[in-house]
Amino acid sequence: NVLARNLASRRTNTIGVVLNDLHNPFFAEIIDGIQSVADAAEYRILIGNGKHSRSGEAEMIETFLQFRVDGIITVGATMPMSAIEAAAASAEVVLVGRTSRSRVIDSINTDDVTGARLAVDHLVALGHRRIAHIDGGTGAGAEARRRGYSKAMTDHGLPDEITIVGGDFSEAGGYHAASELLDPACRPTAIFAANDLSAAGALDRVEDAGLLVPNDISIVGYDNTALAAMQHLSLSTVNQPRDELGRLAVEFLLERLRGERTDSVHHVIAPNLVMRKTSTTRAQGAST
């Protein structure tokens, strides 16, 4: 009897997972890594959708606390750190996809500044100079990717070519942002989008304008989700190891729950670039 066992151990053997946006495949794919470690440790997973909002995230965390979960994993959380730390008073908490220096919660994240640099380095190596960035708005990791893009462009001697267009981590955001970049007088030859969904939206907008990807405009995304690997899209992108992020998140929780440590851990994983069909050499691109 699960209820009787929980009463005896004062544990529920459940972990609540709050996904910032259930429609984003990056967040959903992290669940695979979470599930594999949780299953082996005989923990059940409860999944909550933050509905792409701080209030939605806060609502799901409160719901999980009411269900007395042993731990909470937030993926791509945008709610204030103070609110997340407050939840840690009732359950162990691990942040995934967001940097943190908190002393009471753990975090596991990809080095987004380096990831953005990999995208810019790749495009510059292909001969591109006019490289625009569609940013991720207030999404977790967006600021670091924006900063990494600007730093890489400056380091390549291209500070005057820095172009940042506001967007978000959605196809619609990428589509609308790309519309601002299609003026023939200042059109970029390459776009680095803050995530794969945004990149897919930008690709749709570029093709709707009668331009070719990558011959007229190269596009690089971020995340390396299953969407990017689909043959008809074949998106060049920066890889975040989703399975590893999920596995480590549960392992960090279990270390806390087993009393193996009390100090916080903030782990950063190095990303890598995956080259596919949406980026090509500047020599094949449209003239500036």
Q: Per residue in 211-240, pLDDT tens?
A: 999 999 999 999 999 999 999 999 999 999
| 284 DSSP 8-state letter | G
Close Cβ partners of 139 (under 8 Å, ≥ 6 residues apart): 20, 76, 78, 168, 169, 194, 195
How much is the pTM? Answer: 0.92
CA-CA-CA-CA torsion sign (187, 192, 193, 197)? positive
The pLDDT confidence band at residue 285, using thresholds 50, 70 and 90, is very low
CA proximity to 142, closest of 241, 230, 20: 20
**Beta bridge partner(s), residue 277:** none
Give the mean model confidence (pLDDT) for residues 2-14.
Answer: 65
Task: Measure the CA–CA gap between 122 and 134, rounded to whole angstroms.
Answer: 17
Burial 252-284 (b: 16+ CB within 10 A, else e): bbbebbeeeeeebeeeeeebebbebebbbebee
Q: Which two tokens stand for residue 167?
A: 């967007």
**Percent of the chain whose pLDDT exceeds 70:** 94
Task: Measure the CA–CA gap between 247 and 237, rounded to whole angstroms.
Answer: 22
pLDDT score of 28: 87
CA-CA-CA-CA torsion sign (230, 244, 142, 215)? negative
Task: Measure the CA–CA gap between 104 and 94, rounded to whole angstroms.
Answer: 10
Residue 132 has pLDDT above 50, yes or no: yes
Q: Report whether 94 contacts 252 (CB < 8 A).
A: yes
Average pLDDT over the chain, rounded to whole? 93
pLDDT score of 4: 52
192, with CB counted inside 10 A (0-12, 13-18, 19+), is buried
pLDDT score of 52: 87
Tens digits of residue pLDDT in 58-96: 999 999 999 999 999 999 999 999 999 999 999 999 999
